[in-house]
């Protein structure tokens, strides 16, 4: 017998009414959100290589600037 006032029915109704807010509040993903997940991960991986190259060139530039600063600071003594 399916009692319309049962705890199960109450909980199911509550979840049905609040599902949108629960998903947002708990930062849950839905199947539609994950449909292109492999493509997004691949795009992120591809964007890492240029960042790594930039990081290496930035480190080299910073080292060169620090060397110049040490030379200038040492010459002032």
Instruction: Give the model's pLDDT for residue 51.
Output: 93
72 found inside a domain: no
14 found inside a domain: yes
2 found inside a domain: yes
Q: What is the pLDDT of residues 12-68, one digit of tens each?
A: 889 889 988 888 888 888 888 888 888 889 998 999 999 999 999 999 999 999 999
CA proximity to 37, closest of 29, 48, 28 = 29
Q: Angle at CA 48, nearest 5°, toward 45 and 50?
A: 135
DSSP 77: -
Instruction: Give the model's pLDDT for residue 6.
Output: 86
Instruction: Give the model's pLDDT for residue 1.
Output: 54
Domain that holds residue 3: 1-35
74 found inside a domain: no
Q: Is the pTM of this model over 0.75?
A: no
54 found inside a domain: no
59 found inside a domain: no
75: pLDDT strictly greater than 90: no
């Amino acid at each position: 017998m399916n009692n319309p006032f049962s705890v199960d029915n109450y909980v199911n109704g509550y979840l049905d009414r609040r599902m949108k807010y629960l998903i947002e509040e708990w930062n849950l993903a839905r199947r539609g959100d994950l449909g292109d997940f492999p493509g997004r991960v691949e795009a992120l991986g591809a964007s890492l290589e240029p960042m790594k190259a930039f990081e290496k060139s930035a480190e080299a530039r910073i080292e060169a600037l620090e060397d110049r600063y040490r030379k200038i600071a040492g010459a002032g003594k």
